[in-house]
Amino acid sequence: MNWPRPLDPLRSFKAKTGLLVVASLFLASLTFWITAQWQFRFALLAALLAALSVTQVLAHGMTSPLREMTAAARAMATGDYSRRVRSTSRDEIGQLATAFNQMAEDLEADDRYRRELIGNVSHELRTPIAALQAVLENVVDGVETPDHQTMRSALAQTERLGSLVADLLDLSRLEGGAVPLRRTTFEIEPFLDEVIRQASGPGSPLPAEVEVTPVGLRAVADTARLHQVIANLLDNAAQHGSPDAPVRVRVRVDQDSGQLILDVHDDGPGIPVADRSRVFERFTRGGAQDGGTGLGLAIARWAVELHDGRIEVLDTGPGCCIRVSIPQT
């Protein structure tokens, strides 16, 4: 039951306390005056009861947020973060209740993220571990011989495990703010050539078309973090685009905002509009089932945000185009 809180509009707890005292004294005096013809002890008792009644009503509304916070805190201690406090008061206790509700929402979000992270990581690790275990068991049992193909299969699963662990460590460092930016001025085109070269596998160069406008364009950014962003975007484009079609990389400086604009475009199926706001979240793959970790775009987003930049999916028709915008001042 929600009792009335007539003093909620007041912005000061001191004013509420003063008004409570005044209301109690006034009602006690009024009751004593009305019952003046009674015996003194009965008149005094009636005045005290009236004062206690008004005090109970007014004080209940003043202190109920504290009781609700106590109950919610006890629920949180047992893992229930869904409890909220009625924060209609405008005084200091009302502000405390609002801050408490915000804290409860943050704790609930952190707890949900922790549970999702454990579930997602367990799911991601299970597949390569199971595949690697099957290969090794077959070799040990003599079902398969440890030939080149078998070892390549085991190596692929090991590399996938290593990639997942590296992505998790990168994401943890980025979210924890443990990655300081070291901005330098560098030329874009040779930087992109090096990123593409490192993104290519042995004997299988990554097909890419690079266009930098104007020629000799220089940028100001943390080269290690920007390398991480572009490598993840190239990997994403290579996984979802056609094997024979090149990934198109376009770089320019916006004349109006002065920002460095980098577009990575592939000819794949694209990302549905409904998924574009979620594609940069952890373990989201935009509907693809390619066995990736689902962390590459989340890491790219965090690295771009470290530069006070923005990353987004553009509505460019066929294929997928992801744009990165980084301030140059």
Q: What is the per-residue DSSP string for 60-92?
A: HHHHHHHHHHHHHHHHHHTT-----------SH
**Is the separation of the CB atoms in 163 and 293 below 8 Å?**
yes
Residues 149 and 239 in one domain: no
Residues 54 and 82 in one domain: yes
Residue 246 covered by a domain: yes
Residues 170 and 188 in one domain: no
SS3 category, 182:
coil
Q: How many domains does the chain have?
A: 3
Residues 82 and 130 in one domain: no
CB-based contacts of 116, cutoff 8 Å, min separation 6: 282, 283
Per-residue pLDDT of the chain (329 residues; tens, 9 = 90+): 566 666 666 677 777 777 777 778 887 788 877 887 787 777 778 877 877 777 777 776 677 778 888 888 888 888 888 888 877 777 777 788 888 888 888 888 888 877 776 766 676 677 678 878 888 888 888 887 888 888 887 887 787 788 777 767 776 766 666 667 789 999 999 999 888 887 776 556 788 899 999 889 999 998 888 988 898 898 888 888 887 788 999 999 988 888 999 999 988 888 888 778 778 876 555 444 444 455 778 888 888 888 889 999 987 778 889 999 999 87
Residue 213 covered by a domain: yes
Residue 323 covered by a domain: yes
Q: What is the pLDDT of residue 324?
A: 94
**Is the dihedral angle over the CA atoms 45, 50, 53, 58 positive or is it negative?**
negative
Residues 143 and 212 in one domain: no
Residues 189 and 295 in one domain: yes
DSSP string, 180-225: ---EEEEEHHHHHHHHHHHHSBTTBPPPEEEEESSTT-EEEEEHHH
Q: How many CA atoms lie within 13 A of 173 on its CB side?
A: 12
Residues 135 and 39 in one domain: no
Residue 31 covered by a domain: yes
Residues 252 and 285 in one domain: yes
Residue 257 covered by a domain: yes
What is the rounded distance in angstroms from the CA atom of residue 304 to the CA atom of residue 138? 44
What is the rounded distance in angstroms from the CA atom of residue 60 to the CA atom of residue 53? 11
What is the rounded distance in angstroms from the CA atom of residue 13 to the CA atom of residue 21? 13
Angle at 236 between CA 235 and CA 241, to 5 degrees: 100
> 121 vs 132, 161, 268, CA distance in Å?
17, 11, 27
Domain end: 155, 175, 195, which one?
A: 175
CATH number at 131 reads 1.10.287.130
Residue 2 covered by a domain: no
Residue 113 covered by a domain: no
**Is the separation of the CB atoms in 244 and 207 below 8 Å?**
yes
Residues 133 and 63 in one domain: no
Residues 160 and 64 in one domain: no
SS3 category, 204:
strand
Residue 254 covered by a domain: yes
Domain end: 159, 175, 191, which one?
A: 175
Residues 148 and 226 in one domain: no
Q: What is the pLDDT of residue 298?
A: 81
Residues 322 and 249 in one domain: yes
SS3 content of the chain, % helix, strand, coil (to 5): 55, 15, 30
**Is the separation of the CB atoms in 327 and 258 below 8 Å?**
yes
**Is the separation of the CB atoms in 264 and 249 below 8 Å?**
yes
**Is the separation of the CB atoms in 311 and 321 below 8 Å?**
no
Domain end: 72, 104, 136, which one?
A: 104
**Is the separation of the CB atoms in 253 and 327 below 8 Å?**
no
Structural domain of residue 29, as residue ranges?
13-104
CB-based contacts of 3, cutoff 8 Å, min separation 6: 57, 60, 61, 64
